[in-house]
């Protein structure tokens, strides 16, 4: 039997089947919402402070100030773990301005929702054999932040599903690569790792991997990348909090390198995971010490 799922609204944990938001909530009604996703390692949330900083940066774009604390979120996560029996969680946090009160965007008070589920990372085969991706036109609204307005990614992900691919990557008309619909995009050529710096989400996983890559002697560069560059790379990777680092072996049916995952993907992901475990445990201990 699967564990029962529990979510939280405004800090109140309840069975998922009972979780409801009003139809006038602006995240539902107008698509005005901020969100962020993090996961646990050995039961401890990873990078919570950084994820919350990014969440509040996004929410601030539509006038919502922080309405809960790191302590509030840690309490909710612990309660969900205890009640659900799930140890490792994928944690989605959504913040909306609240319910519509007047005009188009007038709201009462902010609402925050925590959707915590079994982590469900990609299967081992995704890391061992790699994944395929497709390209699509477009880009996210406010690409530097994480909003709930994901309609722009719908066609790309639909195309990915139709092609049996794992992800869709935004590419401009001139061939400029932006990011994945749900990931950042990296490539390695020789000893140089490249990522896109402008008009994309500053990924926290990407930043963590940079430190690992540089510790191994790889050079990290952030600049414009093109689809031509990806086709000529030795390795292409997509990164996100739950995926960590996944090797891409084909883009639009065209192989990357020899069409198999490169050796650096396995090395960097393994060290990154170890680092996340250590950081998560240290963060939890430090938070507990500060609030003892």
Task: Taking residues 66-70, report their average pLDDT.
Answer: 97
SS (H, E, C) 178-195: EEECCEEEEEEECCEEEE
Q: What is the pLDDT of residue 227?
A: 96
- Residue-wise pLDDT tens digits, 184-232: 999 999 999 999 988 899 999 999 999 999 999 999 999 999 999 999 9
Q: What is the pLDDT of residue 292?
A: 76
Domain boundaries, the chain: 6-118, 124-277
Per-residue pLDDT at 2 exceeds 80:
no
Instruction: Quickly list DSSP for 107-171.
Output: ESS-EEEEEEEE--PPPHHHHHH-EEEEEES---SSTTS-BS--GGGHHHHHHHHHHT-SEEEEE
Contact indicator for 220, 207 with CB cutoff of 8 Å = no
Task: Taking residues 14-18, report their average pLDDT.
Answer: 96
- Residue-wise pLDDT tens digits, 116-144: 999 999 999 999 999 999 999 988 889 99
**Number of Cβ within a 10 Å radius of residue 184:** 23
Assign domain 124-277 one CATH number from 3.90.230.10, 3.30.70.80, 3.40.50.11610, 3.20.10.10: 3.20.10.10
Per-residue pLDDT at 3 exceeds 80:
no
- Residue-wise pLDDT tens digits, 154-194: 999 999 999 999 999 999 999 999 999 999 999 999 999 99
Q: What is the pLDDT of residue 253?
A: 97
CA 169 to CA 227: how far, in whole Å?
Answer: 10
Task: Taking residues 44-71, report their average pLDDT.
Answer: 97
DSSP letter for 25, please. Answer: B
Do domains 6-118 and 124-277 share one topology? The answer is: no
Per-residue pLDDT at 1 exceeds 50:
no
Task: Taking residues 81-92, report their average pLDDT.
Answer: 97
Architecture of domain 6-118: 2-Layer Sandwich (3.30)
Q: Is 1 or 234 the better-scoring residue by pLDDT?
A: 234
């Amino acid at each position: 039997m699967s564990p029962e799922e529990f979510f939280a609204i405004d800090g109140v944990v309840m069975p998922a089947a009972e979780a409801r938001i009003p139809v006038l909530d602006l995240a539902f009604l107008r698509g005005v919402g901020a969100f962020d996703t993090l996961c646990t390692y050995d039961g401890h949330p990873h990078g919570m402070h950084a994820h919350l900083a990014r969440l509040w940066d996004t929410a601030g774009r539509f006038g919502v100030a922080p309405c809960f604390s790191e302590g509030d979120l840690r309490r909710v996560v612990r309660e969900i773990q205890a009640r659900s029996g799930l140890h490792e969680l994928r944690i989605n946090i959504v913040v909306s301005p609240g319910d519509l009160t007047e005009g188009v965007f007038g709201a009462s008070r902010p609402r925050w929702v925590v959707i915590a589920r079994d982590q469900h990372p990609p299967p081992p085969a995704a890391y061992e054999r790699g994944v395929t991706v497709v390209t699509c036109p477009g880009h996210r609204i406010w690409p530097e932040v994480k909003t709930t307005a994901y309609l722009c990614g719908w066609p790309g992900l639909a195309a990915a599903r139709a092609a049996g691919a794992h992800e869709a990557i935004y590419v401009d008309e001139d061939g400029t690569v932006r990011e994945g619909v749900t990931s950042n995009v990296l490539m390695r050529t020789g000893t140089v790792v490249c990522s896109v710096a402008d008009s994309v989400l500053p990924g926290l996983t990407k930043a963590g991997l940079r430190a690992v890559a540089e510790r191994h002697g790889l050079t990290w560069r952030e600049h414009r990348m093109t689809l031509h560059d990806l086709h000529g790379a030795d390795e292409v990777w997509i990164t996100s909090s739950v995926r960590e680092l996944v090797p891409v072996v084909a883009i639009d049916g065209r192989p990357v390198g020899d069409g198999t995952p490169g050796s650096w993907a396995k090395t960097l992901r393994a060290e990154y995971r170890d680092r996340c475990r250590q950081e998560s445990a240290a963060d939890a201990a430090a938070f507990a010490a500060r609030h003892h």
